[in-house]
Amino acid sequence: MKIGFVGAGRVGKSLAFLFKRAKHEVIGVYSRTQNSCNEFTKFVGNGKTFENLKELAKECEVVFITTNDDSIQQVCEGLSPYLSSEQFVFHCSGLLTTQALTSAKAKGCEVGAMHPIQSIPNPHYGIMNLPHSYFDIQCSPGAELVAERLVKDLKCTPIKILPEEKVYNHLASCMVSNYQVSLFDAALKLYENTSISKDLASQMLSHLSKQTVINLENLGPLRALTGPIMRGDVGTVKKHLKSIKDDNVMILYQKVGLILLKLAEQRGRIKKKQAEQIKNLLENTDKHG
């Protein structure tokens, strides 16, 4: 298919490169700055830069809007006057539904949301990480088969999702991906008062994190849970709390610890008295500090 992009960021570059590799014709890109367009075509190795949306719309069967979420509806409204009922328009937001593409739908276009459930910190990682990932898709009826085909051409798995489900899926994805980054950063900072270098600490924690993900995939949260709270080690939790100097890390340890405690109780490996003591510590740290 002849595919064009509005937006030359990480997701757009990654998708364009992979669509080209899948033998689709990447027509080109429109972006607010010429420099972004030039970087896009250089990375993809194909396509041209368009000076306006009208020229891009003339040449494409499929248009992907890969801008930030706040711009999608506005971009679609600017694009729509130049569209015909034979074209498809997709955006890649994890949160927004096809409602953001109402103006294109009004022109008779089939529309859809195709969101990669994957972390893309830069386009180089994007082309490595995206294949064999999942995409949640929410489309108008006439766009579903096209969306599924495009996702499968990327060697990915399409998952149909209802409009009202997107927010929960996006929230879950953010917690597992984005919040994991902040958790990792907070953990790294605990090594600042040790003789262990940041690089070595990062390697150790990365290895642990990877194995934890494997355990989660194979066993699920309940059976994958390990650690002092699961074992009911009250003394260890008390020492942890006394060692934390940063208020934000303290809040993180307390709040997540209470969630872990509920899992531990479900697991049945912690005694009632131990659970009560740990809960008291986590809820009343200032009183014990």
Each residue of 263-279: pLDDT tens digit? 999 999 899 999 999 99
Buried b vs exposed e over 52-85: b needs ≥16 C-beta within 10 Å?
ebeebbeebebbbbbbeeebbbebbebbbebbee
Backbone angles phi, psi at 138, to 5 degrees: -140, 110
Q: Indicate the pTM of the whole model.
A: 0.91
Report the mean per-residue pLDDT for the chain: 96
pLDDT value at position 230?
96
For the stretch 162-174, pLDDT in tens is: 999 999 999 999 9
Assign 206 to helix, strand or coil: helix
pLDDT value at position 288?
44
For the stretch 80-134, pLDDT in tens is: 999 999 999 999 999 999 999 999 999 999 999 999 999 999 999 999 999 999 9
Looking only at Cα atoms, what is the longest distance across the chain? 71
For the stretch 133-155, pLDDT in tens is: 999 999 999 999 999 999 999 99
Q: Looking at residue 244, what DSSP letter applies?
A: -
CA distance 94 to 235: 43
Q: What is the set of domains in the chain, with CATH numbers?
A: 2-161 (3.40.50.720), 178-288 (no CATH)
